[in-house]
Amino acid sequence: MEKGFIRAAMAAIALASLAASPAYAERVELEPASPWNVNYADSSCELRRVYEHDGKQAFLYLRQHAPATGFELIAGSSDFEFLHHPTRIARRNSATQQAQVRVMWVPDSEATEIKSPLFLELGDGGRALATFGNLRPARPNDEQAESSEDERPEWNVESQIAREREITGFELNGVFDKDLYFKTGSLYGPMEAMRDCTVELVGHWGLDVDVQRKLSRRAKPLDMKVWARALQRRYPVNMVREGRQAALVTFLSISAEGQVTNCRVLNEYNEPEFEEVACQGLEDYGRFEPALDENGDPVESFYITTVQYRIG
């Protein structure tokens, strides 16, 4: 994959985070029960793998909606006991405390807390965690407090590939009654397959793949804080009453003039009320510096952002 290939931005607009408390749980090591499979869909590419331990199964999905280093991660099971309310938050006066959700890519030695986890109910009665992330090494807590994202070492294609090669597993804490350790093995091969798939997605959107590959500048959002405030004011009232939350991966078509010409939600597990409100808000308030082709001329392109609705 070329260094200059466009990477979609995954800018989270988060309203609030869940209260959490740490809890100890037995650690279960899950062996692969299937190879990594790439699911090619119209609006996403997804790595899927099933894992097993002592007759119990769990799954791990990594999903991308464009060429990117970030991804949507979904980990779930129908066999292990779930600790949370799907798509809801525990009320502040609830007697049930939420477990602290942490994730870690091995060989890292310190897990990262998921501040705003989203919990899903599966069709077969199982449960899953949905969150967003990447493979960059986690930083110690003190380093996170003292430095900004801009101060972290440069992350390029070579860094990404080296990281994929060194990964051996993924650990999930605080979602099920057991801490689950997925023996992933190296992710380089699976992520290479994912990259091939996401390149094809660009063509599905009616864009010239070669032009997008050679962009000298991606579409750049303007005044994103204004968008965030506008979206916060548009939280659907009935969803607040029901304690519903959402994480919407939205695809925006950006004209050569920097206008949002189309918006659609790419992930499927959110309530329609959230989708309507988020897209209307992004079309009303979204403003961009347009993408530039290799000659520096404005061209039509796209932008992908994750809008998260959370109740505090």
The per-residue pLDDT for range 255-289, each reduced to its tens digit, is: 999 999 999 998 888 888 999 999 999 999 999 99
Asked whether residue 249 falls in the same domain as residue 151, the answer is: no
Evaluate the CA torsion angle 222, 223, 225, 228 in order and state its sign.
negative
Asked whether residue 42 falls in the same domain as residue 174, the answer is: yes
**DSSP3 helix / strand / coil % (the chain, rounded to 5):** 20, 35, 45
Asked whether residue 83 falls in the same domain as residue 147, the answer is: yes
Give a yes or no: residue 1 inside a domain. Answer: no
Q: How confident is the model at residue 227 (pLDDT cuts 50, 70, 90)?
A: confident
Going by C-beta distance under 8 Å and a sequence separation of 6 or more, which residues neighbour residue 79? 55, 56, 57, 58, 126
Contact indicator for 3, 213 with CB cutoff of 8 Å? no
Asked whether residue 225 falls in the same domain as residue 87, the answer is: no
Structural domain harbouring 28: 18-204
Give the number of other CB atoms < 10 A from CB of residue 153. Answer: 8
Residue 85 pLDDT exceeds 80: no
At residue 158, what are phi and psi to the nearest 5 degrees?
-65, -40
Asked whether residue 176 falls in the same domain as residue 264, the answer is: no
Q: Tell me the average pLDDT across 127-152.
A: 66
154 or 182, which is more confident?
A: 182
Give a yes or no: residue 191 inside a domain. Answer: yes
Asked whether residue 106 falls in the same domain as residue 249, the answer is: no
Asked whether residue 75 falls in the same domain as residue 124, the answer is: yes
Asked whether residue 73 falls in the same domain as residue 137, the answer is: yes
Q: How confident is the model at residue 232 (pLDDT cuts 50, 70, 90)?
A: confident
Q: What is the pLDDT of residue 306?
A: 86
Residue 156 pLDDT exceeds 70: yes
Final residue of a structural domain among 173, 204, 235: 204
Q: Tell me the average pLDDT across 195-209.
A: 89
Q: Tell me the average pLDDT across 244-256.
A: 90
48-55 long-range CB contacts below 8 Å, 24 or more apart?
49/182, 49/184, 51/182, 51/183, 53/28, 53/29, 55/79
Number of independent structural domains in the chain: 2
pLDDT in tens, 26-39: 999 999 999 999 99
Going by C-beta distance under 8 Å and a sequence separation of 6 or more, which residues neighbour residue 54? none
| Percent of the chain whose pLDDT exceeds 70 | 82
Give a yes or no: residue 5 inside a domain. Answer: no
Give a yes or no: residue 2 inside a domain. Answer: no
Give a yes or no: residue 71 inside a domain. Answer: yes
Final residue of a structural domain among 141, 172, 204: 204
CATH of the domain at 295: 3.30.1150
Final residue of a structural domain among 204, 219, 241: 204
Give the CA angle between residues 103, 16, 235 to the nearest 5°: 125
Q: What is the pLDDT of residue 154?
A: 66
Q: Tell me the average pLDDT across 126-142.
A: 82
Asked whether residue 160 falls in the same domain as residue 24, the answer is: yes
Q: Is 95 helix (H, G, I), strand (E, B) or coil?
A: coil
Q: What is the pLDDT of residue 86?
A: 60
Q: What is the pLDDT of residue 122?
A: 84
Asked whether residue 92 falls in the same domain as residue 166, the answer is: yes
Q: What is the pLDDT of residue 75?
A: 96
Q: Tell me the average pLDDT across 71-85.
A: 91
Asked whether residue 116 falls in the same domain as residue 181, the answer is: yes
| Percent of the chain whose pLDDT exceeds 90 | 52
Give a yes or no: residue 8 inside a domain. Answer: no
What is the value of pTM for the model shown? 0.77
Asked whether residue 98 falls in the same domain as residue 224, the answer is: no
Contact indicator for 50, 33 with CB cutoff of 8 Å? yes
